[in-house]
């Protein structure tokens, strides 16, 4: 029956189930790789907004190993796997469900093992260089704020929904406006062997995802995500005129960290690419919720950067040497 | 008066204060860089062991920006700064204390600003190539399990104390036994420009610290910490015969992740350095608590690796181009 519902109905149904629980003490956000990265901003949301719920983002295998002691009927476990076929995530759903937790899964593939293993499912839409309220990071934000609203009357839930609806045309315009910069980046970085990404707050998730899924996985470029607040406590010593960084400047509470990192990295590296929420037109988004949305804007725009970079390098994003090529 | 107490008394005093609170819902572990890395295993401890307390590890500037909504009288905030002078951590202590949280700080420097800003303080001992129950990671474990015991009657607290006392001679022997391997590593890696670290569970913290504090900060070698469970969801595509990895194999619940990563990385890279808890003699530690201790064993041993590598590279660990050289 699950797949006869619209996305809005699927989201509403999961939120209603969370509302119907007697108590919710914890939300575990569980996935692997790029899907795990999408979970981090939601842990951030719980830290910032929740009075009664602790948020925990965990890699699915780590979730199994850690076997959180508080996991049980007072828990919501939100999982995500694009294919719905990631073994660790499917197993995590089974473990969570057996423990009595409410399981809500996101997948692009109805009928997949993750779908079957989970009590509630949302089939998200996927178009990497676009964003919509039915794309995975947006659905996660809608679930997090929807549950916060249902359980605690969080007033920002409606603002987040509105911001997600406002975002797509803003991003279409931003992608269009960045055309020249994207071409310049692709040309100037096509022979780099190392590129670091840096961000803080929710945007750290996008930096992490870009480092592991785009640079390491799809381009075989060495990379690490550096948290802007951690930069000055070790990583900044790696900075040099010829070391490239991508810095995401947020509009949220963590912007001061990004500004401090920007001032330093631009002084000591000649290869800094700055993406700033302000310049993307995100100033038009409600200031109270922009920090919960902007990581999606960065992901959308950066995917266009990836395409152009891959072309300049002659290394398509689809090429793998291990993934899909063998058992592991 | 604080500094007239012994370390044991300082630890006991902080635990008693946590016991005296009516309620403790959250422990925030707050620091920067290498000290932040020490906090991660304690979040792990809370996930694994706590029934009534959620653990949160946050960079100190991120803690300030995130301004957790649950922070208040039901919170314990544990902070750490070696010099006691890290501005973000000192400010976090002030914020936490003003919010009514119980503040417990660790520092190597009595009378430092962090000491002054915090209600309870433990002055830890520091000798990088050794471990003792009064070193910073050990004190943190004693505080976490001490609070768990005081609030929830956690039976592992005594076992952790015993394991910490058993660890020093084990590590002295392990360091001695690894002499040849350490020399071989230093010689074979002295011209590497990138070295990855990999681990899971509590040991991920050591991998993170090694990547940002030793390789990036002290050796200017490109690096990233890869979580063994995340490896197969992106980072493993960077693996090649000439890409060096250090893999920490734990004895705890997360060992299956490390074993899977080991099998793959050893097949596709010729430059894998494996440190295994088993081979370090940690099998002698109580199996119920070894996973909470082993990250300290890895840190201790790896510091000896660093010394030898630094010598082979002709790049002392004390050299910095930015830190201590300028304002930033």
For A294-323, how does the pLDDT look when each residue is reduced to its tens digit (9 = 90+)? Answer: 999 999 999 999 999 999 999 999 999 999
* Chain B residues with beta carbon closer than 8 angstroms to that of A232: 32-33, 328
Tell me how crowded residue B168 is: count the other CB atoms within 10 A of its CB: 16
Nearest to A93 by CA among A122, A127, A119, A55: A119
* Chain B residues with beta carbon closer than 8 angstroms to that of A320: 237
Residues 294-323 of A with CB under 8 A from B: 320-323
What is the DSSP code string of B105-173? EEESSTTSHHHHH-SEEEE-B--TT---TTBHHHHHHHHHHHHHHHHH--THHHHHHHHHHHHHHHHHH
Given an 8 Å threshold on Cβ–Cβ distance, is A34 in contact with B264? Answer: no
Token pair listed for B245? 């990895």
CATH number, position B203: 3.40.50.12570
* Chain A residues with beta carbon closer than 8 angstroms to that of B32: 229-230, 232-233
Give the structural domain span for A304: 160-313
pLDDT mean across residues, chain B:
97
How many whole angstroms separate alpha carbon A6 and alpha carbon B217? 51
Q: Which of B39, B50, B193, B229 has the most A C-beta neighbours within 10 Å, making it the best mutation to test the interface with A?
A: B229
Dihedral over Cα of A101, A102, A104, A105: its sign: positive
The domain boundary residue, chosen from B159, B192, B208: B159
DSSP state of A218: I
Do A188 and A46 lie in a common domain?
no
pLDDT higher than threshold 90 for residue A4: no
Query: What pLDDT was estimated at residue B309?
Result: 98
Dihedral over Cα of B302, B303, B305, B309: its sign: positive
A257 vs B65, B211, B268: nearest CB: B65
Token pair listed for B20? 């005296």
Q: pLDDT, tens digit, for every residue of A227-240?
A: 999 999 999 999 99
Measured between CA atoms, how close is B5 to chain A, in angstroms?
Answer: 30
Query: What pLDDT was estimated at residue A1?
Result: 44
Given an 8 Å threshold on Cβ–Cβ distance, is B67 in contact with A253? Answer: yes
| B252 touches A: beta carbon within 8 Å | yes
How many whole angstroms separate alpha carbon A108 and alpha carbon A115? 10
* Chain B residues with beta carbon closer than 8 angstroms to that of A62: 200-201, 227, 229, 254, 257
Phi, then psi, of A316 in degrees rounded to 5: -55, 150
How many whole angstroms separate alpha carbon B31 and alpha carbon B103? 13
What lies within 8 Å, CB to CB, of B211 at 6+ separation is A224, B196, B197, B223, B224, B225
How many whole angstroms separate alpha carbon B76 and alpha carbon B81? 17
CATH number, position B117: 3.40.50.10490
Given an 8 Å threshold on Cβ–Cβ distance, is A254 in contact with B217? Answer: no
Do A19 and A93 lie in a common domain?
yes
Do B235 and B302 lie in a common domain?
yes
Can you list the residues of chain B whose pLDDT is less than 50? 1
Do A215 and A305 lie in a common domain?
yes
Do A36 and A164 lie in a common domain?
no
Nearest to A300 by CA among A221, A220, A203, A219: A203
* Chain B residues with beta carbon closer than 8 angstroms to that of A152: none
Q: pLDDT grade, residue A2 (50/70/90)?
A: low
Measured between CA atoms, how close is A237 to chain B, in angstroms?
Answer: 5
* Chain A residues with beta carbon closer than 8 angstroms to that of B228: 61
| B217 touches A: beta carbon within 8 Å | yes
Given an 8 Å threshold on Cβ–Cβ distance, is B47 in contact with A26? Answer: no
How many whole angstroms separate alpha carbon A174 and alpha carbon A303? 13
The domain boundary residue, chosen from A154, A183, A200: A154
In-domain check, residue B134: yes
In-domain check, residue A324: no
How many whole angstroms separate alpha carbon B305 and alpha carbon B85? 28
How many whole angstroms separate alpha carbon A135 and alpha carbon A131? 6
Q: Which of B55, B65, B151 has the most A C-beta neighbours within 10 Å, making it the best mutation to test the interface with A?
A: B65
The domain boundary residue, chosen from A94, A125, A154: A154
* Chain A residues with beta carbon closer than 8 angstroms to that of B194: 194, 222
User: Crossing angle for the helix pair A136-152 and A157-177, nearest 10 degrees?
Assistant: 160
Q: Are A104 and A119 in contact (CB under 8 A)?
A: yes
Q: What is the mean pLDDT of residues A168-187?
A: 96
* Chain B residues with beta carbon closer than 8 angstroms to that of A67: 48, 253
pLDDT higher than threshold 50 for residue A191: yes
pLDDT mean across residues, chain A:
97
B201 vs A65, A228, A235: nearest CB: A65
Given an 8 Å threshold on Cβ–Cβ distance, is B216 in contact with A201? Answer: no
Do A115 and A213 lie in a common domain?
no
Do A35 and A84 lie in a common domain?
yes
Residues paired with residue B58 on neighbouring β-strands, in sequence order: B30
Residues paired with residue A103 on neighbouring β-strands, in sequence order: A77
Do A198 and A145 lie in a common domain?
no
Nearest to A185 by CA among A149, A155, A210, A153: A210
* Chain A residues with beta carbon closer than 8 angstroms to that of B29: none
Nearest to A2 by CA among A88, A77, A114, A135: A114
Nearest to A77 by CA among A29, A115, A10: A29
CA B74 → CA A52, B23, B42, distances in Å?
12, 5, 18
Given an 8 Å threshold on Cβ–Cβ distance, is B322 in contact with A237? Answer: yes
| A257 touches B: beta carbon within 8 Å | yes
Q: pLDDT, tens digit, for every residue of A103-115?
A: 999 999 999 999 9
Number of domains in chain B: 2
Q: Are A221 and A195 in contact (CB under 8 A)?
A: yes
Q: Are B302 and B308 in contact (CB under 8 A)?
A: no
Residues paired with residue B75 on neighbouring β-strands, in sequence order: B26
């Amino acid at each position: 029956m699950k797949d006869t519902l619209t996305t809005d109905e699927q989201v509403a149904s999961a939120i209603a189930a969370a509302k119907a629980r007697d108590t919710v003490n914890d939300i575990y956000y569980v996935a692997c790789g790029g899907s795990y990265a999408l979970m981090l901003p939601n842990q951030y949301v719980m830290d910032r907004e929740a009075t009664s719920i602790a948020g925990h983002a965990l890699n699915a295998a780590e979730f199994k190993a850690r076997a959180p002691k508080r996991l049980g009927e007072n828990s919501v476990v939100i999982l995500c796997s694009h294919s719905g076929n990631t073994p660790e995530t499917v197993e995590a759903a089974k473990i969570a469900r057996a423990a009595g937790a409410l399981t809500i899964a996101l997948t692009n593939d109805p009928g997949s093992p993750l779908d079957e293993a989970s009590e509630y499912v949302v089939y998200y839409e996927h178009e990497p260089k676009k964003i919509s309220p039915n794309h995975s990071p947006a659905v996660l934000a809608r679930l997090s704020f929807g549950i916060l609203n249902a359980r605690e009357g969080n007033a920002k839930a409606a603002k987040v929904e509105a911001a997600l609806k406002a975002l797509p045309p803003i991003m279409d315009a931003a992608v269009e406006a960045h055309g020249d910069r994207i071409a310049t980046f692709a040309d100037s970085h096509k022979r780099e062997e190392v590129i670091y990404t840096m961000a803080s707050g929710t945007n750290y998730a996008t930096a992490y995802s870009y480092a592991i899924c785009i640079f390491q996985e799809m381009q075989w470029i060495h990379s690490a995500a550096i948290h802007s607040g951690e930069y000055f406590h070790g990583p900044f010593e790696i900075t040099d005129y010829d070391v490239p960084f991508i810095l995401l400047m947020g509009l949220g509470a963590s912007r001061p960290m990004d500004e401090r990192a920007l001032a330093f990295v631009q002084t000591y590296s000649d290869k800094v690419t700055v993406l700033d929420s302000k310049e993307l037109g995100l100033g038009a988004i409600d200031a109270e919720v922009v920090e919960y949305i902007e990581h999606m804007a960065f992901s959308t725009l950066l995917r266009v950067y990836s395409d152009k970079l891959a072309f300049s390098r002659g290394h398509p994003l689809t090429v793998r040497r291990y993934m899909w090529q063998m058992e592991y």
